[in-house]
Structure 1
Amino acid sequence: MDNRERQNSFAAKIMGAVVKRGRQVFRRKGPYEFSRAQRIILKHQPAGQLRHIPIAGQQFWYRNPLELLHSQEEILADEIYKFNSNTDRPFIIDCGANMGMGVLYFKNSYPQAEVWAYEPDQTNFELLQKNVATFHDVTLHQQAIWTHNGFITFEASGTLSSKIVEGEEAATASSMVRIPCVRLADILAQRTVQLLKIDIEGAEYAVLKDCAPFLHQVENMFLEYHGYVQHTSELEELLLLVRQKGFVYYIREAAACLPHPFTDKQRKGDYDVQLNIFCYRLP
């Protein structure tokens, strides 16, 4: 082989490697996955602008790319809401539906499922409407889940962190609004629920206590707990309640809020205890 042939062979190998690498960057591993290129783009996109990206054969709309990445990883890739149902048409209640990633997962897992999704934040609710418009048997409620029917003070941030606020916190909230709320206990009293998902940014303690008489209606419950280290007794009370209602539970850290708990003690500002609690019944 002369020098020219060697040069051509070397160039062909380089080009082949570049093409292969390019295919890897743009390749998706499955319908729920983002390619490496898409992930890089999302990590550097500014928040606020309405955009869409293909997921599971449809366009999924979002405004905050980092929240989209987080939801995709947790809900679609890790499948934290995965559960087995003894019916092809499970009844699922999604409390804190946000932009609709959970509903997308539920309807792709159980196409005949009946889903009630609750999302009080106006910005999030508009995304939810767009993202689940093609699904049947999905009922959307622009209401906060709470302990009574009526209205409640709400801090609407248009993010995953929108939440009910009361007392002194309500007086200082930057984007405070009055919104409709609905009592979850009244809903649970009416029918059996195959999966109850609760991710309501700190309201779970009050809501679960109020729902205690009707938790026997729930087969599986996902609870994202948001709390503070100085309120550890509330977490203990919730876990005892869950056991008393016949559930076993598995706890996984949702966010590492205190990297050094012995020295940090407690986080300033947001919740310093965030846990994913999986509640289910053994055969």
Structure 2
Amino acid sequence: MKTFERKILPVIMRRIQRILAQAEISAMKLGLRIFQRHSSRTSTYHGFRIDYTDNLSFYMECKDIFFHQIYRFEAHTSTPYIIDGGGCIGMSVLYFKSIYPQARILCFEPDDKLFYLMQKNFETNHISNVELIQAALTGSDGSAYFQADESDQGKILPLQDKGKMQVKTVRLSSYLTTPVDFLKLNIEGQELPVLQEAEASGMLRNVREMVIEYHGWADAEQRLGDLLNLLARNGYRYLVHDFDAETCSASKPPFRLRPATAWFCLVYAKQVSSC
């Protein structure tokens, strides 16, 4: 009986929790067929009350961040320091706070509407020890044109493509003056310029562990190799994951590479000395 309680019962409970979580995700997916994609809504998920304006992005972030736990990491302290590049409405920060309630977090988000929703979600859920900066991480300080779509896919535009919104841009290296336990970058194509600048400044070495979402836009140069080489020469070991078929169908066979094909992957990296 004691063996059952110590070893078997926890396994059964974890499986039940997994089944219930999967059912909740499936119900959310069904809701995408019922509700308009862009509509202001409030939902309770994982114990958090969350306001959002894009049903598809909310579903994807619940699935990837909370269910698949793409940003899970093992901290060496109960108060890890986390930098979140591309905070959107705050889902990743809420996840970090669910696993490390005392974490100290610095979060960047340039989009006006998403920044407002993120602030509101943190206030509603009494989230503390989070510093918010309304700016985009890029390779230089200044400003840039930004394409906003009320989802998690807003991005910096080339100089010749003037968007409706101009946002402040900052360098990541300015915020790497102290050791960082975990860096998350989901910045829609700016990941390589940001890391190149951090490398040139000599500050990248202060990041112990990171997850980067690489964006292979159809109209952009392929730079995944450059990103992986940068990590390797700075003492990181890495793993590459291409999401599930729902998030990234292009990387699943049978392969069909066309001019309009876009794809994404996650790059997890950790300093060799920390492995």
User: Which residue of 135, 139, 162 corresponds with 1:143?
Assistant: 135
User: Which residue of 147, 162, 169 corresponds with 2:154?
Assistant: 162
Greater CA deviation, 65-74 or 54-63? 54-63
Structure 1 equivalent of residue 170 of structure 2: 182
Describe the shift of the 1:58–1:264 C-alpha distance in structure 2 as closer, same or farther (beyond 3 A).
closer
Kept in 2: contact 1:224–1:274 (CA 8 A): yes
Structure 1 residue 39: Cα displacement: 4.0
Name the % identity: 29
**Counterpart residue type for residue 163 of structure 1:** K
Structure 1 equivalent of residue 8 of structure 2: none
Structure 1 equivalent of residue 122 of structure 2: 132
What runs of 5+ residues in structure 1 fail to find an aligned partner? 1-27
User: Which residue of 248, 251, 273 corresponds with 2:263?
Assistant: 273
**Counterpart residue type for residue 214 of structure 2:** Y
Is 1:60 aligned to 2:50, yes or no? Answer: yes
What runs of 5+ residues in structure 2 fail to find an aligned partner? 1-18
Kept in 1: contact 2:139–2:197 (CA 8 A): yes
Q: TM-score, normalised by structure 2?
A: 0.82
Describe the shift of the 1:67–1:207 C-alpha distance in structure 2 as closer, same or farther (beyond 3 A).
same
What are the residue-to-residue correspondences of 1:1-283 with 2, within 5 Å?
29=20, 34=24, 36-133=26-123, 134-168=126-160, 170-171=161-162, 173=163, 176-188=164-176, 190-212=177-199, 213-228=202-217, 231-232=221-222, 234-254=223-243, 255-257=248-250, 264-267=257-260, 272-282=262-272, 283=275
Kept in 2: contact 1:118–1:143 (CA 8 A): yes
Distance 2:94 2:33 in 1: 22
Secondary structure at the residue paired with 1:63? Answer: strand
Structure 1 residue 180: Cα displacement: 1.2
Secondary structure at the residue paired with 2:144? Answer: strand
**Counterpart residue type for residue 190 of structure 2:** A
- Please give the per-residue CA displacement for 1:164-202, whole angstroms capped at 9, x wherever unaligned: 11233x24x4xx2111111111111x1111110000001
Kept in 1: contact 2:25–2:63 (CA 8 A): no
Kept in 1: contact 2:214–2:265 (CA 8 A): yes
Distance 2:129 2:113 in 1: 23
